[in-house]
Chain A
Amino acid sequence: MCLGIPGEVVELLSDQPDLATVEVSGVRRSINVGLLENEVVSPGDWVLIHVGFALSKIDEEEARAALEFLEGIGQAYDEELRALQESGIDGP
């Protein structure tokens, strides 16, 4: 649970301003971006995701390096990614 994983924002959902669709290692999921209220988040931005929330904006170079690292650590990241995949925080 403690991992922070980078994701690329692909879409902001206009009807639900706290939510954004992100892509992480090929997986697309909704996350909550409410903690970044003081910053502008746009498609193409990278964010650090922790338990379904974006904690901070990060630059693309950092994001790619972190992803490469995470993909190399194996089990812990696979589990995190599977959990993210199974999560569906957007719908009812």
Chain B
Amino acid sequence: MRFVDEFRDAEKAQALAAQITALCEPGRQYKLMEVCGGHTHTIYKHGIDDYLPESITLVHGPGCPVCVIPMGRVDDAISIAEQPDVILTTFGDMMRVPGGQGSFFDSKAKGADIRMVYSPLDALKVARRNPDKRVVFMAIGFETTAPSTAMTVLRAASEGIENFSIFCNHVTIIPAIKAILDSPDLRLDGFIGPGHVSTVIGCRPYDFISAQHAKPLVCAGFEPLDILQSVYMIMGQLAAGRAEVENQYSRVVPWEGNPKALGVISEVMELRPYFEWRGLGFISHSALKVRDSYAAFDAERIFEVPGVRVTDPKACQCGEVLKGVIKPWECKVFGTACTPETPIGTCMVSSEGACAAYYNFGRFSRDRVKEAIRT
């Protein structure tokens, strides 16, 4: 099932693809990174790669919040869950993420009380209903999700709910993009900017990408045509020798972001000096922790957290996938030892992870790729 068969605007897409091709400089190779996991999902679901000229490669970035959580943080959360009278609550995506000592599912099977929730407010509700338990919310996500966690802490504070805390693993997108731009492994020509993160942070924080690195970034929506149009806008900038931040998704993303959302994040949370990202290593000022004024809601201060650093399994190349250095199917264990049912790496766990997107929509196995190259 491919883009052209199913997409209602196939003609528009073809026209855009032709315009994109016309903007390519003969002999030049282009690498564009889509930062957001939601975009990766769309790209594979609709085979957008097939629409682009061969000289343009779409590279997947680090914008899947589940994928960037290092194994040690999963172990830390499990250690909290296994303490007396604790209920750990988490988004469903986290359940199968492997830590060094197994996943949340494994820990639950051994008797820990770990529950899936849709919203941090559901976690707060669990706390209200279980006053004799200590309810911890495993908070993950970029700036899209952090305001919701912050609002929930504010709510807990105003209601005086004392048995609720968060294990804060919120990360921020800009330092990750900086780390990728500084990485010697990869030469990128431009960025397809994240859509929903930008509804919160707006477009201004990306200015350094154009100003200091002379590369275009276009904030993009999630439909196939949005992505093609964003590629067209990036290619137009490159052809004209421009490097600017543009907003293809202006019907949803306000240029200034959501000031209220930014306000509640900074009321409740502050930047950590550093945080470990799976595959990217330690990045300065790249994650959030609970401020002193809300210490009563900070699981890291309430519980003893081992904080052990766990090295990723040798076979797993999620790090290279998250940095866009390799394609998912180039990983040694892709589709063989590592599948969505039995993931080794986080990129195979979340439906927004690049490996899961490839596996679910492309089903490339290494043998098939070899075969394709041979024929």
Contacts and interface: CB of A to CB of B under 8 A. Distances in A.
Interface of A is mostly: mixed
B251 A2 contact: no
Q: Identify which of B6, B120, B148 gathers the most chain A CB atoms within 10 Å of its CB.
A: B148
Interface string B86-100: 000001110000000
B147 A35 contact: yes
Q: Which of B93, B118, B200, B222 has the most CB of A within 10 A?
A: B118
Interface residues of B, number: 47
A71 interface: no
Contacts of A89: 119, 121-122, 125
A83 B38 contact: no
A49 B128 CA distance: 24
A35 B260 contact: yes
A83 B92 contact: yes
Given A37-B260, A50-B196, A56-B258, A1 B122 contact: no
A32 B261 CA distance: 12
B199 interface: yes
A32 B151 contact: yes
Interface string A53-92: 1011011001001100100110110010001101111011
A65 B223 contact: yes
Interface in B39-65: 41-42, 45, 64-65
B196 A4 contact: yes
Contacts, number: 118
A87 B227 CA distance: 32
Contacts of A36: 258, 260
Nearest to A2: B352
Contact of A69 (B122, B199, B222, B254): B222
A73 B45 contact: yes
A53 B252 contact: no
Nearest to B200: A55
Nearest to B93: A1
B28 interface: no
A56 B196 CA distance: 9
A35 B91 CA distance: 20
Nearest to A58: B252
A50 B194 CA distance: 15
B264 interface: yes
A38 B252 contact: no
Contacts of B6: 72
A31 to B, nearest CB: 8
A73 B251 contact: no
Residue from A38, A51, A86 having most chain B Cβ neighbours under 10 A:
A51
A38 B260 contact: yes
Contact of B38 (A3, A51, A52, A84): A3
A31 B63 CA distance: 25
A8 to B, nearest CB: 15
A29 to B, nearest CB: 9
Given A2-B64, A92-B128, A53 B147 contact: yes
A34 interface: yes
Given A51-B119, A53-B119, A87-B118, 18 more contacts: A1-B66, A1-B140, A2-B38, A2-B65, A2-B352, A4-B195, A4-B196, A32-B119, A35-B260, A48-B199, A52-B121, A52-B148, A69-B223, A73-B45, A87-B117, A87-B122, A89-B122, A92-B128
16 contacts: A1-B92, A1-B141, A4-B196, A35-B261, A36-B258, A51-B91, A51-B120, A55-B147, A55-B258, A58-B252, A62-B251, A76-B351, A84-B118, A86-B118, A89-B119, A89-B125
